[in-house]
Amino acid sequence: MSYFSSSQFASSAATGNDWREVAKTVLEDLSDAKTDENSFNFGFLYISDMLAEDAESILNLFKSVLNIDNWVGGIGIGICANGKSFIDKPAISAMVGTFEDTDFCLFPPINQDPEKAAECLEKWLEDNDPMLVLTTGDPMSEEDPAQTLRMLEAQCSGFMVGGLTSSRKNHAQFAGGLYNGGLCGAVFSQSVKVASTLSQGCTPIGTAHTITKCDGHEIHTLDDRDALEVFEDDLRSMVIKKIDRDPDTIQVDEAALTDPKELPEDFHSLIKGEVHAALPVSESDQNDFLVRNIIGINNDDNAVVISQHVSNGDRVMFVYRDHDSVYEDLSAQLLELRERVQNETGTFEPKGAIYISCAARAFNEFEDGSKNEMQLINEIIGDVPLTGFYAGGEINKARLYGYTGILTLFL
């Protein structure tokens, strides 16, 4: 079942042969949920990239059939629903809700028409204090998304969550209308109670190191040692911890160089994961970090190249990600969120949820395919209306993350 409802929200998701078939299924569910007592006036809409070329038609149809003008969302290679994800197939996930008209404000891309966006936000902010800023951005924009996030944060404080679209076709975001490029979304007032958690899914390999020499994206030395040497030492420590022996003492057959299946059995867990660089967030008291890809090794200089501009004095560490690390961290964060809400409100009865996860996690399955992250969320959070998508970069606290999952609950 992909349809869920509560006193304030209703959600539905479906897949099918084309956009009309998919939209019809979702719209029938959401239309049936509409009653005189529950007149929905806001919608969250996420579309798989296989329907990207029909995004405007889908948005206009949802507006017309449900009589809702206020929609936010975007496109992803996969979309989320409660207990299910739809990857690499035509699919739509939508959630409709009821808010006081004064409790939200939609804004267009702030870097495409900054005057219009500023005017929209400033007028609303005169009478409201923001709680949640939900935003969707285009990773193909000429502007640096991190810089655009800082621009939005300067205009509108509040807890900012969201994601960059992920698509092999057109990138588009919704904020009342359809936009290409920029960063748009909606801001909600303090009257809209929310709770949120971020799951990293990556495990630190060693301690954080200080960059002592670098050039742009290229790290030459860490703690005054060759960066490549430090990286290799951390990897060796990780391997020893995982297989309880030094990898340099193990003889590997020549066949294993071309066929990983020929590696020793205890090596198999190592080749199932990925290693990345991570930049600790200095102002965070929760051991938070921003994961970035290692995009190259410069053997001439013993340097490590990462997908982030760095400076001398910055801190960096190496992290490891596999199915187990994603599963364990997500489970721990969901349980902590549930306990936190229970303690603060005296009950755990979320009315709706939005989940934005990294596109790299879209194909993760845990425990040999017996469970994925959407099923895990359902087990811990329950049968709550939920929508979301797999993003090309996740936004949390106005920072751009990678490889994370962000769950936001409407309480």
Model confidence pLDDT, tens digit, residues 184-199: 999 999 999 999 999 9
* Per-residue exposure over 263-294, b if at least 16 CB sit within 10 Å of its own CB, e if not: beeebeebeebbbbbbbebeeeeeebbbbbbb
Give 189's DSSP letter: E
Weakest-pLDDT range from 71-75, 216-220, 279-283: 279-283
Rounded distance between C-alpha atoms, residue 111 and residue 184, angstroms: 9
Q: Which two tokens stand for residue 298?
A: 């410069």
Q: Are strands 183-189 and 104-107 parallel, antiparallel or unpaired?
A: antiparallel
Q: Supply the pLDDT for residue 375.
A: 92
Q: Supply the pLDDT for residue 113.
A: 72
Decide if 334 contacts 326 (C-beta within 8 A). no
Residue 114 has pLDDT above 80, yes or no: no
Q: Which two tokens stand for residue 73?
A: 């969302």
| DSSP of 110-158 | TTTSHHHHHHHHHHHHTT--EEEEEEEE-TTSSS-HHHHHHHHHHH--S
**CA 371, 372, 373, 378 torsion: positive or negative?**
negative
Nearest to 160 by CA among 172, 151, 169, 170: 151
Weakest-pLDDT range from 159-168, 212-221, 285-294: 285-294
Decide if 402 contacts 358 (C-beta within 8 A). yes
Rounded distance between C-alpha atoms, residue 130 and residue 74, angstroms: 22
**CA 17, 19, 20, 26 torsion: positive or negative?**
positive
**CA 295, 401, 168, 140 torsion: positive or negative?**
negative
> At CB < 8 A and 24+ separation, what contacts does 290-298 make?
290/399, 290/400, 290/401, 290/402, 291/200, 291/202, 291/319, 291/321, 291/401, 291/402, 291/403, 291/404, 292/402, 293/402, 295/217, 297/228, 298/218, 298/228
The amino acid at residue 400 is L
State the helix-helix crossing angle for 114-125 and 145-155, rounded to 10 degrees.
30
**Percentages (nearest 5) of helix, strand, coil residues in the chain:** 30, 35, 35
By CB neighbour count within 10 A (0-12 exposed, 13-18 middle, 19+ buried), where does 196 fall?
middle
Please count the helices (runs of H) and the strands (runs of E) in the chain.
Answer: 8, 28
Highest mean pLDDT among 53-67, 135-149, 292-306, 352-366: 53-67
Rounded distance between C-alpha atoms, residue 180 and residue 198, angstroms: 27
Q: What is the mean pLDDT of the chain?
A: 87
Decide if 243 contacts 270 (C-beta within 8 A). yes
Q: Supply the pLDDT for residue 286.
A: 62
Half-sphere exposure of 365 (CA within 13 A, CB side): 8
Residue 366 has pLDDT above 50, yes or no: no
Percent of the chain with pLDDT over 70: 88
Give the predicted TM-score (pTM) of the model: 0.88
Residue 132 has pLDDT above 70, yes or no: yes
Nearest to 79 by CA among 411, 356, 395, 383: 356
Beta-bridge partner residues of 78: 87
First to last CA, the chain: 23
Residue 251 has pLDDT above 80, yes or no: no
Decide if 97 contacts 410 (C-beta within 8 A). yes
Residues 6+ apart with CB under 8 A from 72: 43, 44, 45, 106, 134, 136, 173, 174, 175, 184, 185, 186
